[in-house]
Structure 1
Amino acid sequence: MTPAPAVATAVTFVWLGMVLAISFLEAPLKFRAPGVTLPIGLGIGRLVFRALNTVEVVLAAVLVVAFVAGQPSRGAVTAATVAVVVLIVQLALVRPRLTRRSDRVLAGHDAPRSRSHHAYIALEMIKVIALISAGILLLTA
Protein backbone atom coordinates (compact mmCIF):
# COMPACT_ATOMS: atom_id res chain seq x y z
CA MET A 1 0.00 0.00 0.00
CA THR A 2 1.45 3.35 -1.02
CA PRO A 3 1.38 6.27 1.45
CA ALA A 4 -1.70 8.07 0.06
CA PRO A 5 -4.09 5.10 0.36
CA ALA A 6 -2.66 4.24 3.78
CA VAL A 7 -3.24 7.81 4.96
CA ALA A 8 -6.74 7.84 3.47
CA THR A 9 -7.60 4.56 5.19
CA ALA A 10 -6.22 5.68 8.55
CA VAL A 11 -7.95 9.07 8.38
CA THR A 12 -11.25 7.43 7.45
CA PHE A 13 -11.18 5.09 10.43
CA VAL A 14 -9.98 7.78 12.86
CA TRP A 15 -12.84 10.02 11.70
CA LEU A 16 -15.28 7.12 12.09
CA GLY A 17 -14.03 6.36 15.60
CA MET A 18 -14.35 9.97 16.69
CA VAL A 19 -17.93 10.26 15.41
CA LEU A 20 -18.94 7.00 17.06
CA ALA A 21 -17.30 7.92 20.37
CA ILE A 22 -18.66 11.45 20.61
CA SER A 23 -22.02 11.33 18.88
CA PHE A 24 -23.19 7.91 19.94
CA LEU A 25 -21.44 7.43 23.29
CA GLU A 26 -20.45 10.69 24.98
CA ALA A 27 -23.37 12.84 23.89
CA PRO A 28 -26.20 10.69 25.26
CA LEU A 29 -24.29 9.57 28.37
CA LYS A 30 -23.39 13.04 29.64
CA PHE A 31 -27.05 13.78 30.40
CA ARG A 32 -27.23 10.67 32.62
CA ALA A 33 -24.37 11.76 34.87
CA PRO A 34 -25.43 12.86 38.35
CA GLY A 35 -25.86 16.61 38.67
CA VAL A 36 -25.72 17.36 34.96
CA THR A 37 -28.57 19.71 34.20
CA LEU A 38 -29.82 20.51 30.71
CA PRO A 39 -27.92 23.84 30.58
CA ILE A 40 -24.69 22.20 31.79
CA GLY A 41 -25.09 19.33 29.32
CA LEU A 42 -25.76 21.75 26.48
CA GLY A 43 -22.75 23.85 27.41
CA ILE A 44 -20.49 20.79 27.46
CA GLY A 45 -22.04 19.49 24.26
CA ARG A 46 -21.41 22.73 22.43
CA LEU A 47 -17.72 22.66 23.37
CA VAL A 48 -17.30 18.99 22.51
CA PHE A 49 -19.12 19.19 19.18
CA ARG A 50 -17.27 22.36 18.18
CA ALA A 51 -14.01 20.51 18.79
CA LEU A 52 -15.25 17.37 17.01
CA ASN A 53 -16.43 19.35 13.99
CA THR A 54 -13.11 21.21 13.80
CA VAL A 55 -11.21 17.93 13.78
CA GLU A 56 -13.67 16.50 11.24
CA VAL A 57 -12.98 19.39 8.87
CA VAL A 58 -9.23 18.78 9.19
CA LEU A 59 -9.65 15.03 8.63
CA ALA A 60 -11.91 15.65 5.62
CA ALA A 61 -9.28 17.96 4.13
CA VAL A 62 -6.53 15.40 4.69
CA LEU A 63 -8.74 12.74 3.12
CA VAL A 64 -9.31 14.89 0.04
CA VAL A 65 -5.57 15.51 -0.32
CA ALA A 66 -4.84 11.78 0.08
CA PHE A 67 -7.44 11.00 -2.58
CA VAL A 68 -5.92 13.54 -4.97
CA ALA A 69 -2.44 12.12 -4.34
CA GLY A 70 -3.55 8.51 -4.68
CA GLN A 71 -5.87 6.63 -6.95
CA PRO A 72 -8.73 5.38 -4.80
CA SER A 73 -11.59 3.39 -6.27
CA ARG A 74 -14.66 5.19 -7.52
CA GLY A 75 -16.67 3.57 -4.70
CA ALA A 76 -14.29 4.86 -2.02
CA VAL A 77 -14.43 8.35 -3.51
CA THR A 78 -18.24 8.23 -3.62
CA ALA A 79 -18.55 7.04 -0.02
CA ALA A 80 -16.04 9.60 1.25
CA THR A 81 -17.80 12.33 -0.73
CA VAL A 82 -21.06 11.44 1.00
CA ALA A 83 -19.35 11.79 4.38
CA VAL A 84 -17.86 15.17 3.46
CA VAL A 85 -21.16 16.48 2.06
CA VAL A 86 -23.00 15.34 5.18
CA LEU A 87 -20.45 17.20 7.33
CA ILE A 88 -20.95 20.34 5.27
CA VAL A 89 -24.74 20.09 5.62
CA GLN A 90 -24.40 19.59 9.37
CA LEU A 91 -22.13 22.60 9.76
CA ALA A 92 -23.93 24.94 7.39
CA LEU A 93 -27.57 24.08 8.00
CA VAL A 94 -28.18 22.01 11.12
CA ARG A 95 -25.62 23.25 13.66
CA PRO A 96 -26.74 26.90 13.40
CA ARG A 97 -30.32 25.86 14.25
CA LEU A 98 -29.13 23.78 17.18
CA THR A 99 -26.97 26.68 18.37
CA ARG A 100 -29.94 29.06 18.32
CA ARG A 101 -31.97 26.61 20.42
CA SER A 102 -29.17 26.02 22.92
CA ASP A 103 -28.61 29.80 23.16
CA ARG A 104 -32.24 30.16 24.23
CA VAL A 105 -32.00 27.35 26.80
CA LEU A 106 -28.72 28.70 28.18
CA ALA A 107 -30.33 32.15 28.48
CA GLY A 108 -33.02 30.60 30.67
CA HIS A 109 -35.84 30.56 28.11
CA ASP A 110 -38.07 27.62 27.33
CA ALA A 111 -37.28 26.09 23.99
CA PRO A 112 -39.15 23.10 22.62
CA ARG A 113 -37.13 20.07 21.53
CA SER A 114 -35.80 20.77 18.07
CA ARG A 115 -36.36 18.59 15.02
CA SER A 116 -32.91 19.72 13.99
CA HIS A 117 -31.52 17.44 16.69
CA HIS A 118 -33.14 14.46 14.97
CA ALA A 119 -31.83 15.66 11.61
CA TYR A 120 -28.31 15.87 13.05
CA ILE A 121 -28.55 12.31 14.40
CA ALA A 122 -29.86 11.01 11.06
CA LEU A 123 -27.00 12.75 9.25
CA GLU A 124 -24.51 11.25 11.74
CA MET A 125 -25.86 7.79 10.91
CA ILE A 126 -25.47 8.45 7.18
CA LYS A 127 -21.93 9.74 7.81
CA VAL A 128 -21.05 6.61 9.82
CA ILE A 129 -22.31 4.33 7.06
CA ALA A 130 -20.39 6.36 4.46
CA LEU A 131 -17.17 6.24 6.50
CA ILE A 132 -17.49 2.49 7.10
CA SER A 133 -18.08 1.98 3.38
CA ALA A 134 -15.15 4.20 2.39
CA GLY A 135 -12.86 2.49 4.88
CA ILE A 136 -13.76 -1.01 3.70
CA LEU A 137 -13.41 -0.01 0.06
CA LEU A 138 -10.00 1.53 0.77
CA LEU A 139 -8.87 -1.62 2.60
CA THR A 140 -9.99 -3.93 -0.18
CA ALA A 141 -8.49 -1.92 -3.05
Structure 2
Amino acid sequence: MMTPGTAVAAAAAFVWLGMLLAISFLEAPLKFRAPGVTVPVGLSIGRLVFRALNTVEAVLALTVITAITTTTPPVAVTATAVTVVVLLAVQLTVIRPRLNRRSDRVLAGENLPRSRGHLYYVTLEAAKVIGLTALGISALAAR
Protein backbone atom coordinates (compact mmCIF):
# COMPACT_ATOMS: atom_id res chain seq x y z
CA MET A 1 0.00 0.00 0.00
CA MET A 2 1.21 3.49 -0.87
CA THR A 3 2.18 5.65 2.09
CA PRO A 4 0.70 9.14 2.52
CA GLY A 5 4.18 10.60 1.94
CA THR A 6 4.67 8.93 -1.41
CA ALA A 7 1.10 9.78 -2.43
CA VAL A 8 1.75 13.46 -1.69
CA ALA A 9 5.08 13.30 -3.52
CA ALA A 10 3.39 11.76 -6.58
CA ALA A 11 0.61 14.36 -6.57
CA ALA A 12 3.05 17.24 -6.18
CA ALA A 13 5.28 15.85 -8.94
CA PHE A 14 2.41 15.59 -11.42
CA VAL A 15 1.02 19.05 -10.56
CA TRP A 16 4.52 20.47 -10.98
CA LEU A 17 4.96 18.59 -14.26
CA GLY A 18 1.69 19.96 -15.63
CA MET A 19 2.60 23.53 -14.76
CA LEU A 20 6.06 23.13 -16.25
CA LEU A 21 4.72 21.74 -19.52
CA ALA A 22 1.98 24.36 -19.81
CA ILE A 23 4.16 27.36 -19.11
CA SER A 24 7.66 26.48 -20.30
CA PHE A 25 6.74 24.52 -23.39
CA LEU A 26 3.43 26.11 -24.40
CA GLU A 27 2.93 29.65 -23.08
CA ALA A 28 6.53 30.86 -23.30
CA PRO A 29 7.18 30.14 -26.98
CA LEU A 30 3.66 31.09 -28.10
CA LYS A 31 3.65 34.52 -26.44
CA PHE A 32 6.22 35.86 -28.91
CA ARG A 33 4.07 34.75 -31.86
CA ALA A 34 1.01 36.71 -30.75
CA PRO A 35 0.23 39.74 -32.91
CA GLY A 36 1.49 42.97 -31.39
CA VAL A 37 3.72 41.37 -28.76
CA THR A 38 7.09 43.05 -29.02
CA VAL A 39 10.28 41.61 -27.55
CA PRO A 40 10.20 44.03 -24.58
CA VAL A 41 6.54 43.22 -23.85
CA GLY A 42 7.20 39.48 -24.21
CA LEU A 43 10.22 39.70 -21.91
CA SER A 44 8.25 41.64 -19.31
CA ILE A 45 5.42 39.11 -19.38
CA GLY A 46 7.87 36.21 -19.34
CA ARG A 47 9.74 37.53 -16.32
CA LEU A 48 6.49 37.92 -14.40
CA VAL A 49 5.17 34.49 -15.40
CA PHE A 50 8.44 32.68 -14.69
CA ARG A 51 8.86 34.43 -11.34
CA ALA A 52 5.43 33.09 -10.38
CA LEU A 53 6.16 29.63 -11.82
CA ASN A 54 9.48 29.42 -9.98
CA THR A 55 7.81 30.43 -6.72
CA VAL A 56 5.22 27.67 -7.13
CA GLU A 57 7.98 25.24 -8.13
CA ALA A 58 9.86 26.05 -4.92
CA VAL A 59 6.71 25.39 -2.88
CA LEU A 60 6.14 22.09 -4.70
CA ALA A 61 9.80 21.14 -4.20
CA LEU A 62 9.43 21.76 -0.47
CA THR A 63 6.23 19.72 -0.52
CA VAL A 64 8.03 16.80 -2.19
CA ILE A 65 10.97 17.02 0.21
CA THR A 66 8.67 17.15 3.23
CA ALA A 67 6.56 14.28 1.91
CA ILE A 68 9.49 11.95 1.32
CA THR A 69 11.18 12.78 4.61
CA THR A 70 8.06 11.74 6.54
CA THR A 71 8.33 8.20 5.21
CA THR A 72 10.97 5.78 3.97
CA PRO A 73 10.49 5.85 0.21
CA PRO A 74 12.32 3.62 -2.24
CA VAL A 75 15.71 4.85 -3.46
CA ALA A 76 14.21 5.71 -6.88
CA VAL A 77 11.77 8.16 -5.29
CA THR A 78 14.46 9.84 -3.20
CA ALA A 79 16.98 9.98 -6.05
CA THR A 80 14.57 11.48 -8.56
CA ALA A 81 13.26 13.97 -5.98
CA VAL A 82 16.79 15.12 -5.16
CA THR A 83 17.66 15.37 -8.86
CA VAL A 84 14.65 17.53 -9.68
CA VAL A 85 15.22 19.79 -6.68
CA VAL A 86 18.89 20.24 -7.62
CA LEU A 87 17.92 21.10 -11.23
CA LEU A 88 15.50 23.73 -9.93
CA ALA A 89 18.14 25.13 -7.57
CA VAL A 90 20.63 25.49 -10.44
CA GLN A 91 18.02 27.28 -12.53
CA LEU A 92 17.12 29.66 -9.73
CA THR A 93 20.62 30.43 -8.48
CA VAL A 94 22.77 30.27 -11.62
CA ILE A 95 20.78 30.58 -14.84
CA ARG A 96 17.80 32.79 -13.89
CA PRO A 97 19.93 35.64 -12.47
CA ARG A 98 21.97 35.73 -15.69
CA LEU A 99 18.82 35.72 -17.82
CA ASN A 100 17.39 38.53 -15.69
CA ARG A 101 20.52 40.66 -16.13
CA ARG A 102 20.40 40.05 -19.87
CA SER A 103 16.70 40.92 -20.13
CA ASP A 104 17.37 44.09 -18.10
CA ARG A 105 19.85 45.11 -20.78
CA VAL A 106 17.42 44.29 -23.61
CA LEU A 107 14.64 46.20 -21.88
CA ALA A 108 17.05 49.15 -21.52
CA GLY A 109 17.38 49.19 -25.31
CA GLU A 110 20.57 47.25 -25.95
CA ASN A 111 20.71 45.09 -29.06
CA LEU A 112 22.43 41.91 -27.91
CA PRO A 113 23.49 38.81 -29.85
CA ARG A 114 21.71 35.51 -29.20
CA SER A 115 22.37 34.00 -25.81
CA ARG A 116 23.00 30.42 -24.74
CA GLY A 117 21.35 31.13 -21.40
CA HIS A 118 17.90 30.28 -22.68
CA LEU A 119 19.20 27.04 -24.18
CA TYR A 120 20.63 26.02 -20.80
CA TYR A 121 17.37 26.94 -19.07
CA VAL A 122 15.28 24.94 -21.57
CA THR A 123 17.67 21.99 -21.28
CA LEU A 124 17.15 21.95 -17.51
CA GLU A 125 13.40 22.32 -18.02
CA ALA A 126 13.44 19.23 -20.24
CA ALA A 127 15.50 17.37 -17.64
CA LYS A 128 12.95 18.37 -14.98
CA VAL A 129 10.14 17.01 -17.19
CA ILE A 130 11.93 13.66 -17.31
CA GLY A 131 12.72 13.78 -13.60
CA LEU A 132 9.20 14.75 -12.54
CA THR A 133 7.71 12.02 -14.71
CA ALA A 134 10.07 9.47 -13.14
CA LEU A 135 9.36 10.84 -9.66
CA GLY A 136 5.60 10.66 -10.10
CA ILE A 137 5.70 7.14 -11.53
CA SER A 138 8.16 5.82 -8.96
CA ALA A 139 6.16 7.37 -6.12
CA LEU A 140 2.95 5.83 -7.44
CA ALA A 141 4.67 2.44 -7.72
CA ALA A 142 6.14 2.64 -4.21
CA ARG A 143 4.96 0.05 -1.74
Match of 2:38 in 1: 37
1:76 & 1:102 partners in 2: Cα distance?
36
**TM-score, scaled to structure 1:** 0.97
CA deviations on 1:46-90 (whole Å, 9 max, x unpaired) are 000000000000110011000011221101111111110000000
Match of 1:116 in 2: 117
1:72 & 1:39 partners in 2: Cα distance?
46
2:121 & 2:112 partners in 1: Cα distance?
17
Equivalent residue runs for 1:34-113 within 5 Å = 34-113=35-114
1:40 & 1:3 partners in 2: Cα distance?
43
Q: How many residues align?
A: 141
1:70 & 1:22 partners in 2: Cα distance?
31
2:101 & 2:64 partners in 1: Cα distance?
31
Q: Report the alpha carbon displacement of residue 139 of structure 1 after superposing the two structures with TM.
A: 0.9
Match of 1:28 in 2: 29
- Ranked by relative contact order (alpha carbons within 8 Å, sequence separation 6 or more), the top structure is 2
Alignment identity in percent?
62
2:15 & 2:73 partners in 1: Cα distance?
18
Q: Which amino acid aligns with 1:49?
A: F
Query: Structure 1 residue runs of 4+, over 4 Å off?
Result: none
SS in 2 for 1:33: coil
SS in 2 for 1:110: coil
1:25 & 1:56 partners in 2: Cα distance?
17
1:101 & 1:71 partners in 2: Cα distance?
43
1:5 & 1:89 partners in 2: Cα distance?
25
Root mean square deviation, CA, Å: 0.8
